Amino acid sequence: MIASGKTWVAFAAGVRSYALAVLCALLVIPAAQAERLKDIATIQGVRNNQLIGYGLVVGLDGSGDQTTQTPFTLQTFNNMLAQFGIKVPANVGNVQLKNVAAVSVHADLPAFAKPGQTIDITVSSIGNAKSLRGGSLLMTQLKGIDGQTYAVAQGNLVVGGFDAEGRDGSKITVNVPSAGRIPAGATVERSVPSGFDQGNSLTLNLNRPDFTTAKHVVDRINELLGPGVAQAIDGGSVRVSAPLDPNQRVDYMSVLENLDVQAGEAVAKVIINSRTGTIVIGQNVRVSPAAVTHGSLTVTITEDPIVSQPAPFSNGRTAVVPNSNVSANQEAKPMFKFGPGTTLDEIVRAVNQVGAAPSDLMAILEALKQAGALQADLIVI
């Protein structure tokens, strides 16, 4: 049940009086293995919004688009000149704009961003420009998914990469010279309603949905503010009552987001990256009783050619005779046994004792999963 306006005034006063004491206590005596609520949950409706735009970068040192292959660059350039009353004659022919490049501009509009504030932008070439180093972005509108203009970008690019090419065709490239950033390169022109100050409740969405974590969040909030203030919607969301006054709501969320909440333990997982050989074993991974042996067969082929020298006065020719040596070596690795409820430390210790390489460990873990002895989700990426 939502409290009345007078009750919220008294409640807000109580929150303000307890806020400093609570925050100090949380800093001095943090809960064991606890995390701040702001680190494990976000407020529904309070998020970034993606913006995108199309524009021109000028002032390049001959590293711009080849307009014969990217005609849209020339078309965009002519449209820009037409806005200033300049018309390129039709009989000019193919104009090569070596110092101009067509680019895409994208940025994230933070929550609560207001008109007049600035945001960082990223500029990327969409033509065949070799480098944007030293270029300047002309005025570009940044639009949202609804087609409305939310920011205007312009400025000098900061490019971290470069390339150099010799006359003989040799070339060296460091990082990516065809993309750059402009810090504070866009000015916000329109704000996005967040819904933070609407309604008499707020919804907290967990970054990692978990029923145990949701229960801990509800218990922690109700323990501080009273029963019924927080209610779990499902394993990923918690609804909390909130005051209607925006100033009181900010104070209210300031207290909540600094609460220490003990997050639930994650599902037992084993992550294998077959491309890089990286293996990550979660804390809660267990192995049922199983015996494992793993060996490798190494076949070595070496070439040791022999020079055949004919006898004197035999009219023979000196020749090179191929001589191949083939040997096989199979490593004899001992068998190791996993007992019931084997922990992560015991798994690592047993594998290290036999000197298994990452590729060997992948094969062992996959075999344990197939045998039903690995009590965890095996994820191969």
Q: Which amino acid is at 178?
A: S
Pairing, β 319-321 against β 306-308: antiparallel
**Predicted local distance difference test score (pLDDT) of residue 87:** 83
Reference 50, options 117, 123, 105; nearest CA is 105
Domain residue extents for the chain: 5-46+195-262, 49-188, 269-380
**Predicted local distance difference test score (pLDDT) of residue 164:** 61
**Predicted local distance difference test score (pLDDT) of residue 238:** 96
Q: Which residues contact 193 (CB under 8 A, 6 or more apart)?
A: none
Q: Number of C-alpha atoms within 13 angstroms, CB side, residue 361?
A: 23
Find out whether 206 and 213 touch, Cβ atoms under 8 Å.
yes
Containing 248, the helix (H) or strand (E) segment is: helix 246-257
Find out whether 218 and 179 touch, Cβ atoms under 8 Å.
no
**Predicted local distance difference test score (pLDDT) of residue 155:** 95
Question: May I ask the CATH class of domain 5-46+195-262?
Answer: alpha beta
Q: State the Cα angle at 109 between 104 and 110, rounded to 5°.
A: 150
Give the tokens for residue 7: 């009750």
Spell out the per-residue pLDDT of the chain, length 381, in tens: 344 444 444 444 444 444 444 434 444 444 446 899 999 999 998 999 999 999 999 999 888 888 778 888 888 888 898 888 888 777 665 667 889 999 999 999 999 999 999 999 999 999 888 889 999 999 999 999 999 999 999 999 999 866 666 555 556 666 788 899 999 999 999 999 888 888 899 999 999 999 999 999 999 999 999 999 999 999 999 999 999 998 999 999 999 999 999 988 888 888 888 788 788 888 788 877 777 766 654 555 565 677 777 777 667 777 777 765 656 555 655 556 666 666 666 776 776 666 667 777 788 788 888 888 788 888 888
Q: Number of C-alpha atoms within 13 angstroms, CB side, residue 183?
A: 2
DSSP state string for 286-324: EE-SEEE----EEEEEEE--EEE-PPTTS----EEEP-E
What b/e readout covers 84-95, taking b as 16+ CB neighbours within 10 angstroms? Answer: eeeeeeeeeeee
Angle between helices 5-28 and 211-225 (to 10 degrees): 110
